[in-house]
Structure 1
Amino acid sequence: MKIFNSLNIYCLAGCMLLSACSQANNSNSVKTEKVFDEQRSLNTSLPVNNHISQMTPEYVESVARIAYIWGWPLVNMHNRHQVFSQVPVQGLLGGVMPVAPVNYLTILPKYADPEQKDVAHPNQDVFYGFGITNLDKSPVVLQVPNFGERFWMYGLMNQRTDAFGELGKMYGTQPGFYLLAGPNWKGDVPEGINKVIYSETSINAVIPRVFVEDEKDDQNKVQSYINQIAMYPLSEYNGHMKTTVWRELPVLPEQNKTDKEKGWVNPEKFFDQLPAVLKEVKPLQGEEVMYSMINQVLDAAKSNEEYRKILQRTAVNMEKSAIDSLFYFNNVGVEVENHWTRPFNNGAFGLDYLTRTAIAKSNIFTNHFRETTYFYQYRDKDGTRLDGSKHSYTITFKKGELPPVDGFWSLTMYDENHFFCSNDIKRYSLGTKSKNLKYNDDGSLTLYIQKESPSEELKNNWLPAPDGIFAVTLRCYAPENSIIEGKWCPPAVITKK
Structure 2
Amino acid sequence: MIKTRRELFSLHWTCASLAGLTFLAGCASTPVDAPKPTGWIKDEVADSYVFGYPLVLMEAARDAAVGTDPGQAPLNTLRHAQALPPVGLANPPTPSLDTLDSSAWLDLGAEPVILALPDSHGRYVDARALDMWTNVVWSTSAQTGPRASGIKEQAIAFVGPGWQGDLPKNVKRIDVPTRNAWVTVRIQSNAGRDMTLVRKLQRGIRLVPLSAYASDARSAIAPGGNAAAAAALAASGSPAAQVAALDAGGFFSRLAEGMQDNPPVPDDPHALKFLADLGVKPGEPVKLPDASDAITSGLSDGRERVVTPPPNLLSVNGWSWFGDGVGNYGPDYALRAYAAYAQPGIGTKDDEVRATLTLDSDGHALNGANRYVIHFAPNQLPPVRGFWSITAYTKEGALGESAPARLAVGDRNGAHRNRDGSLDVVVSSVRVRAANWLPAPRTDLQLVLRLYAPKPQATDGTWQPPAVVRQ
- On whether the aligned pair clears a TM of 0.5, the verdict is yes
* 1:341-360 paired onto structure 2 within 5 Å: 341-344=320-323, 345-360=325-340
Indicate if the aligned counterparts of 1:371 and 1:477 stay in contact, CA closer than 8 A.
yes
Q: For residues 289-310 of structure 1, what are the alpha-carbon distances to aligned partners after superposition, in whole Å with 9 as ceiling and x for unaligned?
A: 2202212321599696753846
Query: Which of 224, 234, 238 is the matching residue for 1:261?
Result: 238
The answer for the alignment partner of 1:182 in structure 2 is: 160
- How far is 1:284 from its partner? 4.4
Identity over aligned pairs, percent: 22
Secondary structure of the 1:136 match is coil
Secondary structure of the 1:290 match is helix
Please list every run of 5 or more consecutive structure 1 residues that lacks an aligned counterpart in the other structure: 1-53, 94-98
- 1:170 matched to 2:147? The reply is no
* 1:35-50 paired onto structure 2 within 5 Å: none
Deviates further, 347-356 or 108-117: 108-117
Query: Which of 205, 208, 211 is the matching residue for 2:185?
Result: 208
The answer for the alignment partner of 1:226 in structure 2 is: 202
* 1:384-395 paired onto structure 2 within 5 Å: 384-389=364-369, 391-395=370-374
1:138 corresponds to which letter in structure 2? Answer: E
- 1:307 matched to 2:290? The reply is yes
Q: For residues 54-113 of structure 1, what are the alpha-carbon distances to aligned partners after superposition, in whole Å with 9 as ceiling and x for unaligned?
A: 98533222211111111111111122333445x127xx52xxxxx311112211122233
TM-score relative to the length of structure 2: 0.81
Please list every run of 5 or more consecutive structure 2 residues that lacks an aligned counterpart in the other structure: 1-34
The answer for the alignment partner of 1:36 in structure 2 is: none
The answer for the alignment partner of 1:338 in structure 2 is: 317
- 1:60 matched to 2:35? The reply is no
- How far is 1:235 from its partner? 2.2
User: Who wins on radius of gyration, i.e. which is larger?
Assistant: 2
Deviates further, 330-339 or 464-473: 330-339
Q: 1:121 to 1:333 in 2, by over 3 A?
A: farther
Secondary structure of the 1:361 match is helix
Q: For residues 147-189 of structure 1, what are the alpha-carbon distances to aligned partners after superposition, in whole Å with 9 as ceiling and x for unaligned?
A: 0111102121111111121325526853132211113111221
* 1:187-202 paired onto structure 2 within 5 Å: 187-191=165-169, 193-202=170-179
* 1:412-491 paired onto structure 2 within 5 Å: 412-435=391-414, 437-455=415-433, 458=434, 461-491=436-466
RMSD: 3.1
Q: Distance in 2 between matches of 1:84 and 1:138?
A: 21
Secondary structure of the 2:234 match is coil
Indicate if the aligned counterparts of 1:267 and 1:315 stay in contact, CA closer than 8 A.
no
1:360 corresponds to which letter in structure 2? Answer: A
Q: 1:403 to 1:375 in 2, by over 3 A?
A: same
The answer for the alignment partner of 1:494 in structure 2 is: 469
- 1:321 matched to 2:304? The reply is yes
Q: Distance in 2 between matches of 1:141 and 1:69?
A: 32
- 1:147 matched to 2:127? The reply is no
Q: Distance in 1 between matches of 2:445 and 2:424?
A: 19
Q: How many residues are matched?
A: 423
Query: Which of 122, 139, 143 is the matching residue for 2:95?
Result: 122
Q: 1:243 to 1:124 in 2, by over 3 A?
A: same
Q: Distance in 2 between matches of 1:176 and 1:289?
A: 40
Q: 1:88 to 1:332 in 2, by over 3 A?
A: farther
Q: Distance in 2 between matches of 1:308 and 1:239?
A: 58
Q: Distance in 1 between matches of 2:355 and 2:375?
A: 15
The answer for the alignment partner of 1:235 in structure 2 is: 211
The answer for the alignment partner of 2:56 in structure 1 is: 75
